[in-house]
Structure 1
């Protein structure tokens, strides 16, 4: 198997920025989801409240195209994000905004942000940035920057005891590899340090790993020549050339770039929501067959008892200790180094799992 694509999302809820290579950190790829948009809602008494924005509820976010310019060697603060807003045809003109990749936070108002019961603080960006997004979305929006703040990972270790397997000598990744440990032991390296584990504005974990072989299986659910769009699943790492669809359900750990490369622990399944029904070209819920993608997955992809009403696509993942700072590249070899015999059970303290 190989790395087909690496993706980062500098502003949560907007489109991805593609990478040729990336340094892996315990908090995800550099600059992934360090910014976020919040809608300002006013109550009857005029008191403002803030709502976290995401593409499922704010589909116009699919019409924003961010591109990262990395900081130069001589100035660590001159990196930037260039965001191009491309409204659907007939709905206005293209607009561009430049945002500092690492803005100065001096004098910025601090805002409380809570995602899935995991709280943090963020800096409200200056008015010029908030107004630009407000004009594009058509309702009042503020842009916030995470800065040094991170959210606690609410990972639970109460998964079902699925037996884990490790490839036999010679690098085989077959299903009959020898048993070496249990899923609970895999979890321990992450969950025993749950209080120290932190995440950005990503929903549940620093990385989301998906397989393009499984995407091919989704294509058959649509009439020819229509295909599903893997970008709707908002992955960080796309793996190609898996032996068969949905085998990633059982991945416990993958190694990228050979045995000495970066190791990613695949801990939880990712339950899907109506965001996969959004038409990225119109910035609205799709009205054709692609708008039924979530329903089409319901028939056979509800495979996790922890989120029994949500179809599964992809694995929430964490960087294994010892891989911090390694580099992964598109085209790198991917090996499954640990494999579960059974499906893991999603158990996140911030989300209902009944």
Structure 2
């Protein structure tokens, strides 16, 4: 984990490498709603809990338990759109700014980014249970209709809740609705087109926007049907005041 953290630190310009550029950031993916499609962005500000907007929202079932692609694979079809300026360093949403959600057969759903919501308790994901903002009846009806079961959209309540990472691996760090750690690093070995033998110009980035599947990323591996997660990581920069305002950009040296 320390090695993974140092990779992120190097990516942000704080590393202690030899000076030789071994690789560059190929893509930055942010997943505003846990288990829905990700957004490929040219840059993303870092925060104490991961990239800004990443896994701030989550779907829960009637018992308040996290609903993910593990049990609802249709979530891979849900597209999320944020205002382009949402990933600028000093941008703050207004009441007119929305997250727009789309899915096959459904009208677009607009979720305000700056409107205060009521809170609900007993929301849980893995080991954590706490309170979260409830995005309301319209969002609940939209997702319940699409998935065919009672579902609500909730947002992490940073004002009252803290979810710590596993202290055995990264003591003192925190995250929101990600599985366990605020960052994920995946090395991009070109995926070879099985018909032409030519490296794909879009993979594995295209697959990672939807789901992390070894079906595309590890096609020759005996466990190719497993979900591919890469290296979970934390970012040392996010613990200090010096980390504020730092941005990861596509093309940054690693």
TMscore range, shorter length: 0.7 to 0.9
SS in 1 for 2:234: strand
CA RMSD of aligned residues (A): 3.1
Instruction: Using structure 2 for the length normalisation, give the TM-score.
Output: 0.73
Alignment correspondent of 2:253: 333
Alignment correspondent of 2:115: 103
Q: CA deviation at 1:230?
A: 4.2
Q: CA deviation at 1:333?
A: 1.6
Q: 1:276 aligns with which of 187, 206, 213?
A: 213
Structure 2 residue ranges without an equivalent (≥5): 1-22
Q: Which has the higher contact order (CA 8 A, sep 6+)?
A: 2
SS in 1 for 2:36: coil
Alignment correspondent of 2:151: 141
Structure 1 residue ranges without an equivalent (≥5): 41-48, 88-92, 158-189, 236-273, 278-289, 302-309, 335-354
Q: Which has the larger radius of gyration?
A: 1
Q: CA deviation at 1:74?
A: 8.1
Alignment of 1:60-71 (within 5 A): 60-69=74-83, 70=85
Higher strand residue share: 1
Q: CA deviation at 1:115?
A: 2.2
Alignment correspondent of 1:55: 69
Alignment of 1:294-313 (within 5 A): 297-298=221-222, 313=229
Distance 1:62 1:312 in 2: 15
Q: CA deviation at 1:233?
A: 4.5
Q: Structure 1 residues 75 and 96, CA, compared in 2 at 3 Å: closer, same or farther?
A: closer
Alignment correspondent of 2:51: 29
Contact 1:12–1:35 (8 Å) recurs in 2: yes
Alignment correspondent of 1:185: none
Instruction: Using structure 1 for the length normalisation, give the TM-score.
Output: 0.54
Alignment correspondent of 2:176: 200
Distance 1:13 1:312 in 2: 14
Deviations 1:214-259 (A, max 9, x none): xx3xx45x84359774454469xxxxxxxxxxxxxxxxxxxxxxxx
Alignment correspondent of 2:195: 224
